[in-house]
Amino acid sequence: MKAYLVTLRFHWGYSIRNYFASKVTDTYIIPPLNTLIGALAMANCARNGIHVENVSKASNAKNFASRVKYAAFMFKYKPIKFTSLLRYSTSIYWLTEYDVQVETRTSRLFNAIQFGLNSYLNGIMNMLVITDLDKADLYSINRLGSKESIISIISVKEVSYKRIDKGSRIKNVTFSFNKNLAEKILGNYFVEIIPSCNESFYNFFTQPTNITTESFCIPNPVVSLITAKEACLFSTEVGNCIGPVDSC
């Protein structure tokens, strides 16, 4: 697998729905790995003329889960997170014991949903991606999140990386990283809790199970840190990125 720096631009912003939400949804600021896998799967399938998503009651994205090893994200500025009272759509949602009971399967699965949004007008995002997919697949991504979360890919460049020891002092960290990788962090950052990668998200009409979450630190705009364990260091033209040792 290779490491790539992908620079993209959002048009209006984006929406990445929380997996646990029902009829009222929030949104993640950084995409969970499942979201990126779905975007790459759609890009690859479209590029190869495959336009059917449902295969044996599962998404085609399931076939790409092992082809994307790691991802980290860097913002030019922090997106503004809010919930829209106007933007509604009809979509699948999961019932809870508090929902009004209905009789038909269809009405159990579909209802009006209120979406959380991230305003990021013409905003630049840099993604550090470890994958065995081609550069053409990375250039083919046209959305990241909901179907309205349209993006334009500006560039794709291969980057170098190496293993670093516990206790290493790393400066100029600009990409998101798992909080448990850092023993000490110096600088301004915010924390986002996102679901870990899980193949149960790809199965249609089945509620995801065994979901775990991870806390990620997002530099705002840059931090220095001391590593809490062995890690992988990626050096890019827009700053450093650290990841788990198995991403090397």
Predicted confidence at residue 179, as pLDDT, reads 96
| Alpha carbons 33 and 101: distance in angstroms, whole number | 34
| Alpha carbons 203 and 197: distance in angstroms, whole number | 14
- pLDDT bracket for residue 24 (50, 70, 90): low
Q: Answer yes or no: is pLDDT of 98 > 60.
A: no
Count of alpha carbons within 13 Å of 92, Cβ hemisphere only?
10
Separation in Å, CA 230 to CA 36, 170, 235: 25, 12, 16
Which 8-state DSSP code applies to residue 169? E
Q: Answer yes or no: is pLDDT of 56 > 80.
A: no
Domain containing residue 238: 2-247
Q: What is the CATH number of the domain that holds 168?
A: 3.30.70.3120
DSSP H or E segment with residue 106? helix 105-109
Q: Give the total number of structural domains in the chain.
A: 1
Q: What mean pLDDT comes out for the span 135-154?
A: 93
Predicted confidence at residue 143, as pLDDT, reads 93
Predicted confidence at residue 2, as pLDDT, reads 95
Which residues have CB under 8 Å from 240's CB, separation 6+? Answer: 170, 171, 172, 173, 174, 175, 233, 234
Cα torsion 52, 18, 184, 225: sign: positive
